[in-house]
Amino acid sequence: MGSTGCRHCASSVETNIQRNGALHYGMIALTLDDMSENLKPSETVLRSVDPVTGSQVAEFPVTTADQVAEAVGNARRAATAWAALSVDERRTELLRFKRLIHARRNEILALLTRENGKVAADAEIELTLTLHHLDWAARHAGRVLRPRGVRSGLMMLNQASRIERKPYGVVGVIGPWNYPMYTPMGSIAYALAAGNAVVFKPSEFTSAIGQWLADTFVAATGRDGLFAVVHGWGATGADLCRSGVDKLAFTGSAPTGRKVMAACAETLTPVLMELGGKDAAIVAADADVRQAAQALLWGATMNSGQSCAGVERVYVVEAVASRFLDAIAAAAGSVEAGRDYGPVTMPGQIATIARHIDSGLSDGGSALVGGRDSVRAPFVDPVVLVDVPQSSAAVREETFGPVVTVNRVPDVDAAIAAANAVEYGLGAVVFSKRDGESIAARLDVGMVSINDVISYGAVPALPFGGNGGSGFGRIHGEPGLLEFTTPKAVTRRRFRLPVEVSAHGRRRRDEWALTAISRLVGRR
């Protein structure tokens, strides 16, 4: 299934127009209510469209359950040869893959704009991050995964012990559409570098980008089947979960994550869960308020707010609140959807964004920037809501749009308590000149940026992932490589001890010696 026959075809360009409350996406007229339904043109063909014009970008035959199983079987055969290579050989091939992505950069940048709606700057950021991570994984796998000797302890003094790291075999990767290259490659690059094969199911909204990645890998390495793509909707993802993969790396929403875990439980397939977030930012009294406002507005709106670790809530300490509100309003005044960031990729998300703006306002908040009129599908201009109660859906649920709530709090303690009071625990941001570290230490999240936003995602050596409702396991960095291997314990007897431990028929003095060791270890 290395290539499932992409047929790029540019059909007539349809413009999105809003008529009588119905949004026209391409040729299909949708109301806000029925936009939560995925576009499913047929059961056997999957078509991806340009989210701005609605014109078709590509179509793929939907991969059947048998074909998913076949792809996994092919990947398993390819994995044996791949795992048998030396670390240096794998690094050479992965760096060749990276260089070919770079050489074909104009193709993928265009596709990120056409199929995913990214403006040029957001596409360039995604490409750069992907190259950075692929490079890091390729270059560091040898060091991170080499066998590590460990002390054998008093009882096993005569043993030489080590931990080896073994690839799982075939890793299934299910990815989202918001960063269709960077996010799945956070699993794919690290899984490959660790010696696994990969079968990838991209989001139905970004299937051409997923196919492009696999095709480029085959072109760079000549290895068919080692990194394969299967296409389809959720059912294809479920088929992948049940296909006998040795590990499943899932990135997506928490509700889908639960379904993936349930499917994987049937076969005891281990899972990595990178789920959603509702990231908070804290602005302390000693923050550089202007810098904080500009950075947080960017963190809330870049990529149209469709970032798992995007800033969706700000807690600003009362002492600097009015200065902060003036600064964020001023910063937002010059930002426009369609120019500074792209459209909302998934039509169904528009309804969620609109609902969160409505509930933020009806629950008692007020609009500092924008409001309901900012939703002009497929675009949404920046929306800043102020003093929205913590119980509101706008504060508790993932919005995944360029909407941010700003709540005034009396002090940093109140800010930390409010930041921690949601079910998610992905990332967080702190702006404070003196207390950044101590505030960061009290946040129940997997990642924190101090005096900057989301910068951890661009540091390849740092693990990426969250706690609680944001999932478990990590991509990126050393933990991201370890995640795609299993530890294997090996110990070798080097010489015979005067005291025999591992045998029946021990002598009396062996028993005494054992008791003496036990007492020694117990007492110290």
Q: Which residues bind ligand NDP (CB under 6 A)?
A: 174-179, 183, 201, 203-204, 233-234, 237-238, 241, 251-253, 256, 259-260, 274-277, 308, 398, 400, 426, 466, 470
State in angstroms the smallest separation of the CB of 156 from ligand NDP.
41
Active site residue 308: yes
> Interhelix angle for 120-145 vs 105-114, to 10°?
120
Strands (E), 126-252: 148-150, 159-167, 170-174, 197-201, 227-229, 247-251
For residues 319 and 458, which CB has a smaller minimum distance to ligand NDP in the complex?
A: 458
Q: How far is CA 307 from the centre of its chain?
A: 9
State in angstroms the smallest separation of the CB of 183 from ligand NDP.
5
For residues 179 and 190, which CB has a smaller minimum distance to ligand NDP in the complex?
A: 179
For residues 165 and 201, which CB has a smaller minimum distance to ligand NDP in the complex?
A: 201
For residues 234 and 338, which CB has a smaller minimum distance to ligand NDP in the complex?
A: 234
State in angstroms the smallest separation of the CB of 121 from ligand NDP.
19
State in angstroms the smallest separation of the CB of 277 from ligand NDP.
6
State in angstroms the smallest separation of the CB of 416 from ligand NDP.
22
Cβ-closest position to ligand NDP: 237
Cα separation, 162 vs 489, whole angstroms: 6
Sign of CA dihedral 487, 493, 498, 502: positive
Cα separation, 337 vs 376, whole angstroms: 9
The residue from 115, 308, 312, 397 that is catalytic is: 308
Strands (E), 242-373: 247-251, 271-274, 279-283, 311-317, 366-369
Residue 78 half-sphere exposure toward CB, CA atoms < 13 A: 24
State in angstroms the smallest separation of the CB of 273 from ligand NDP.
8
For residues 281 and 287, which CB has a smaller minimum distance to ligand NDP in the complex?
A: 281
For residues 245 and 325, which CB has a smaller minimum distance to ligand NDP in the complex?
A: 245
Contacts for 16 with CB less than 8 Å, ≥ 6 apart? 23, 24, 25, 52, 53, 54, 377, 378
DSSP bridge pairs for 59: 47
Active site residue 274: yes
DSSP 412-441: HHHHHHHHH-SSEESEEEEE-SSSHHHHHH
Nearest to 387 by CA among 316, 296, 282, 299: 316
DSSP state of 154: G
DSSP state of 457: G
The residue from 115, 274, 397, 398 that is catalytic is: 274
For residues 11 and 36, which CB has a smaller minimum distance to ligand NDP in the complex?
A: 36
Query: Kind of pairing, strands 197-201 and 403-409?
Result: unpaired
Cα separation, 429 vs 511, whole angstroms: 58
Are 188 and 227 within 8 A, CB to CB? yes
CA separation, residue 46 to residues 4, 378, 451 (Å): 11, 21, 43
Cα separation, 514 vs 504, whole angstroms: 14
State in angstroms the smallest separation of the CB of 152 from ligand NDP.
39
**Which position has the token pair 């030489």?**
160
Which two structure tokens, joined as six digits, stand for 493?
């007897």
3-state secondary structure of 370: coil
State in angstroms the smallest separation of the CB of 256 from ligand NDP.
3
For residues 46 and 292, which CB has a smaller minimum distance to ligand NDP in the complex?
A: 46
Nearest to 277 by CA among 91, 422, 489, 169: 422
Cα separation, 501 vs 496, whole angstroms: 10
Catalytic residues: 274, 308
